[in-house]
C-alpha cells in the first residue's frame, strides 16, 4: 500500500510540474525517487563481519547504499555547523575542526565527548556508517590547550633527522587519537621556493629530496604499521600539487613551470608518500599554468590515481572547489561541484553548505553530468579507509591515553627537537656558549616571554596568537631555569633597562604568529620595534646574542653586522628550554639550513647550495661550537 501511495504521489507531482511547463523538473523528481529506492539489509550483513576482507566488506556496504547515503559520505563539514540531526539526516561522512574550531571544553575529555556524540549520531543511521574526524594537527595536537607543541616543519627540516620526525608524528598520533580524532591534515610535503609565501614554515625544505625523506617519515609515524591500532591516525599528504612554487610566493597563486619540472620538484615527494602508503591526499588551492588544481583531472586522476597508483581518497581544501574559476566565493556552484568531482575530488571540505552540496550533486548525478561510477569510486575509497582504521569495530574514543597528552616524556622529545632544529648562523669571538655563572644577563625582545610567538600559526587558533595561549616554557623562563642561582637575569622587553654591570644581552625577536594567506609578506623585514630594541642594547655597550623567531629566513643584511651572535630558532613550539640548552652549552648546535637565506628580497626565489649565487647563507649552512 505504501508503494502504491508513493507512486501516486510521484505521478501527482509530475502532473503539477507538467502543467507548469516544467517537464524536465518532473522527470528529475521521478528519477530521484527511483534512485533513492532502499535496499533491504540482511540480518547479518557481510560488511559488519570483521573477519571478511576489507574489499568484500566495502563492496557489500556499497551495494546497500542509496545515492543519498553515498553522497553524504563525500561531504565533510566543520563541527561548528553540526547541529540538530545533521549527521544522521544527511548521512554526513566526515567532520573536521578547522583552525581554532574547538569544543567549548577544550580538554581531552571535551574533545572525546564531542567526538563520541557525533559518532553516536552517525551510528544511529540505517547502515551505521561511522564518521571520520579530521583535524590540522600539524605540529602536535595544536588545537588542544595543554598538548605538546613541536617545532614547525621548517625547524624539523633543519634537523635532517627522519627518525626524530617519525617519533614526533607518533607522539602527535597518540595525543590526537587519545581525544578521539582519526585523521590529521598533515604532513605538508610542499617544496617552498619563495619565502614570501606565508606557508613557508609548513614545508620541511626547498630541497625535494629532503622533503621526500622527512615527509615519508612523518606519514610512517602517524599511520604506524596498522591504521586500526588505537594509537595511530590517518595521514594526509598536502597540498597536491605545486603549492610552494607560486609566482612571487602568493598564497593560492599560479605555479608556472613545465611538467618535467613539476614532476622533479613537486611530485617527487609524493612518490615516497605513496610507498608507505599514505591514506589521503589534499588537493591544493593553487593553479598550475592557469588551471586550478581542484579542477585538474589530468593531475588528480590521470597522474595521481592512475599513473602513480594512489588508492586512498582525495579531499578538497577548505571551500577549495569554490575557487575553481579564480574567485574566492563563499558559495559553491553546480559547475564547481561537477568539475571538481569529475576531476577526481572524492571528499569535499564544504565546510558549511552541506545542503547545497548534497542537493546539487544529487541533481548532477540524476542528470548524468556526474556518473554513478564516479560516485561509487569516491565512496569506495572513503569506506576502504574507514574499514582500515577499524572504525566499524572501534567507533568511539579510546580514553585510556588522556594522561599522555602533554606529558613530560613527550615534552622532552619536543625539547630535543628544538635543540636539533636551531641553526647557529653567527658567533663572533666564540661568544657562545655562554657561561651559566655570569654575574648579570639581560634578556630583551618582544618574543622572549611569549609562548604564542614561539608556536606560531596553527596553534590553538588558525592564525595563532601572542601570549600564554597554552602550556609551555618561554625562552625567558628557560634562561632563568638554566643559569646559576647567583646570576641576575633582568628582563627588559624593549631593551631600555640595562644594568650597568650586565655581561651580555640575549635578544629574542621575530615575526608575529600567522598562517596561510595572512602570512604572505613582500619584504620579510624585521619589525621596527625589534630593531629599536637591539639598538637600545647596543647603546649599553655589551655583546648581543640574537635569537630569531620566524617561519622563514628574513632579510637581515643591514642588521646582522651589529649582532655578535645569531641563532635561527624558527618556530620552536612550547618547549623553550631547548633554546637555553644550546645557548648555555649543554648541547652544541647541529641544525643546518634547509632553505637558502637570501641577502636581499630581489634574489627570491633562490636556491644556493655553495654560496656562489650571493646568498647571505647558503642551503646547508650551520655553525657549531
- The CB density around residue 480, as the number of other CB atoms within 10 Å, is 15
Q: What is the rounded distance in angstroms from the CA atom of residue 368 to the CA atom of residue 363?
A: 9
Cβ-proximal residues to 357 (8 Å cutoff; 6+ apart), any chain: 75, 332, 337, 348, 350
Q: What is the rounded distance in angstroms from the CA atom of residue 537 to the CA atom of residue 549?
A: 18
For β-strands 132-135 and 94-97, DSSP reports them as parallel
Q: What is the rounded distance in angstroms from the CA atom of residue 18 to the CA atom of residue 142?
A: 56
Query: All 3 cell numbers of residue 542?
Result: 655589551
Q: What is the rounded distance in angstroms from the CA atom of residue 289 to the CA atom of residue 275?
A: 28
- Helices and strands of the chain, counted as H and E runs: 20, 17
| HEC sequence for 394-446 | CCCCCHHHHHHCCCHHHHHHHHHHHHHHCEEEEEHHHCCCCCCCCCEEEEECC
Strand blocks (E) in 432-483:
440-444
Q: What are phi and psi of 224, to 5 degrees?
A: 60, -160
Sign, CA torsion 492/498/499/501? positive
- Residue 327's Cβ-count burial label (10 Å; 0-12, 13-18, 19+) is exposed
91: left (phi over 0), alpha (psi -120 to 50) or beta: left
How would DSSP label each residue in 20-58? Answer: TT-HHHHHHHHHHHHHTPPPPPPSS-GGG-TTS-HHHHH
Q: How far is CA 290 from CA 1, 285, 618, in A?
A: 57, 12, 32
Q: What is the rounded distance in angstroms from the CA atom of residue 454 to the CA atom of residue 471?
A: 12
Q: What is the rounded distance in angstroms from the CA atom of residue 237 to the CA atom of residue 220?
A: 12
Of 170, 93, 102, 201, nearest to 462 by C-alpha is: 102
Q: Which residues pair with 412 in a beta bridge?
A: none
Whether the Cβ atoms of residue 235 and residue 173 lie closer than 8 Å to each other: no
DSSP secondary structure code for residue 611 in this structure: S
Whether the Cβ atoms of residue 396 and residue 133 lie closer than 8 Å to each other: no
Q: What are phi and psi of 198, to 5 degrees?
A: -70, -5
Whether the Cβ atoms of residue 312 and residue 380 lie closer than 8 Å to each other: no
Cβ-proximal residues to 620 (8 Å cutoff; 6+ apart), any chain: 592, 593, 609
Cβ-proximal residues to 446 (8 Å cutoff; 6+ apart), any chain: 453, 493, 508, 509, 527, 529, 530, 533
Q: What is the rounded distance in angstroms from the CA atom of residue 185 to the CA atom of residue 234?
A: 9
**Residue numbers annotated as active site:** 317, 516
Residue with cell 629574542: 508
Which helix or strand (DSSP H or E) is residue 389 part of? none
Which helix or strand (DSSP H or E) is residue 496 part of? none
Amino acid at each position: 500500500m505504501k508503494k502504491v501511495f508513493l507512486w501516486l504521489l510521484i505521478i501527482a507531482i509530475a502532473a503539477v510540474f507538467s502543467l507548469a511547463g516544467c517537464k524536465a523538473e518532473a522527470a528529475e523528481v521521478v528519477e530521484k525517487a527511483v534512485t533513492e529506492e532502499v535496499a533491504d539489509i540482511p540480518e547479518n550483513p557481510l560488511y559488519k563481519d570483521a573477519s571478511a576482507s576489507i574489499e568484500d566488506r566495502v563492496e557489500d556496504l556499497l551495494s546497500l547504499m542509496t545515492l543519498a547515503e553515498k553522497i553524504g559520505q563525500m561531504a565533510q563539514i566543520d563541527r561548528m555547523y553540526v547541529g540538530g540531526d545533521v549527521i544522521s539526516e544527511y548521512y554526513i561522512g566526515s567532520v573536521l575542526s578547522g583552525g581554532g574550531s574547538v569544543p567549548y571544553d577544550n580538554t581531552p575529555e571535551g574533545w572525546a565527548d564531542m567526538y563520541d556524540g557525533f559518532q553516536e549520531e552517525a551510528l544511529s543511521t540505517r547502515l551505521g556508517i561511522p564518521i571520520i574526524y579530521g583535524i590540522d594537527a600539524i605540529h602536535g595536537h595544536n588545537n588542544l590547550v595543554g598538548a605538546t607543541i613541536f617545532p614547525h616543519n621548517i625547524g624539523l627540516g633543519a634537523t635532517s633527522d627522519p627518525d626524530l620526525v617519525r617519533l614526533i608524528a607518533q607522539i602527535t598520533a597518540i595525543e590526537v587519537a587519545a581525544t578521539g580524532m582519526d585523521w590529521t591534515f598533515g604532513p605538508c610535503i610542499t617544496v617552498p621556493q619563495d619565502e614570501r609565501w606565508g606557508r613557508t614554515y609548513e614545508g620541511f625544505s626547498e630541497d625535494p629530496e629532503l622533503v621526500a625523506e622527512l615527509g615519508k617519515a612523518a606519514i610512517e609515524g602517524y599511520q604506524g604499521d596498522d591504521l586500526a591500532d588505537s594509537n595511530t591516525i590517518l595521514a594526509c599528504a598536502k597540498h597536491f600539487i605545486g603549492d610552494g612554487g607560486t609566482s612571487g610566493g602568493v598564497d593560492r597563486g599560479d605555479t608556472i613551470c613545465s611538467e618535467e619540472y613539476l614532476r622533479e620538484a613537486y611530485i617527487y615527494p609524493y612518490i615516497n608518500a605513496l610507498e608507505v602508503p599514505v591514506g589521503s591526499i589534499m588537493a591544493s588551492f593553487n593553479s598550475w599554468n592557469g588551471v586550478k588544481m581542484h579542477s585538474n583531472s589530468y593531475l588528480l586522476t590521470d597522474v595521481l590515481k592512475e599513473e602513480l597508483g594512489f588508492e586512498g581518497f582525495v579531499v578538497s581544501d577548505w571551500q577549495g572547489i569554490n575557487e575553481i574559476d579564480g574567485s574566492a566565493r563563499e558559495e559553491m556552484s553546480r559547475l564547481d561541484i561537477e568539475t571538481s568531482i569529475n576531476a577526481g575530488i572524492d571528499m569535499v571540505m564544504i565546510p558549511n553548505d552541506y545542503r547545497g552540496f548534497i542537493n546539487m550533486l544529487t541533481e548532477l548525478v540524476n542528470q548524468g553530468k556526474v556518473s554513478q561510477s564516479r560516485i561509487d569510486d569516491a565512496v569506495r575509497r572513503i569506506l576502504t579507509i574507514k574499514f582500515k582504521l577499524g572504525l566499524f569495530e572501534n567507533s568511539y574514543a579510546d580514553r585510556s591515553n588522556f594522561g599522555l597528552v602533554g606529558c613530560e616524556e613527550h615534552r622532552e622529545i619536543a625539547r630535543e627537537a628544538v635543540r636539533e632544529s636551531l641553526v647557529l648562523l653567527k658567533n663572533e669571538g666564540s661568544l657562545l656558549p655562554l657561561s651559566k655563572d655570569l654575574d648579570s644577563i639581560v634578556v630583551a625582545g618582544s618574543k622572549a616571554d611569549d609562548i604564542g610567538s614561539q608556536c606560531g600559526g596553527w596553534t590553538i587558533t588558525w592564525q595563532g596568537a601572542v601570549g600564554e595561549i597554552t602550556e609551555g616554557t618561554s625562552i625567558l623562563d628557560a634562561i632563568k631555569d638554566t643559569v646559576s642561582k647567583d646570576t641576575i637575569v633582568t628582563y627588559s622587553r624593549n631593551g631600555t633597562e640595562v644594568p650597568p654591570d650586565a655581561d651580555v644581552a640575549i635578544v629574542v625577536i621575530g615575526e608575529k604568529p600567522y598562517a596561510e594567506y595572512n602570512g604572505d609578506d613582500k619584504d620579510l623585514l624585521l619589525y621596527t620595534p625589534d630593531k629599536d630594541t637591539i639598538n637600545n642594547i647596543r647603546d649599553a655597550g655589551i655583546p648581543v646574542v640574537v635569537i630569531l623567531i620566524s617561519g622563514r629566513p628574513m632579510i637581515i643584511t643591514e642588521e646582522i653586522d651589529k649582532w655578535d651572535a645569531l641563532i635561527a630558532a624558527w618556530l620552536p613550539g612550547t618547549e623553550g628550554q631547548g633554546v637555553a640548552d644550546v645557548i648555555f652549552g649543554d648541547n652544541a648546535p647541529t641544525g643546518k639550513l634547509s632553505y637558502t637565506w637570501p641577502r636581499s628580497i630581489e634574489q627570491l626565489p633562490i636556491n644556493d647550495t655553495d654560496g656562489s649565487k650571493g646568498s647571505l647563507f647558503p642551503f646547508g649552512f650551520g655553525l657549531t661550537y
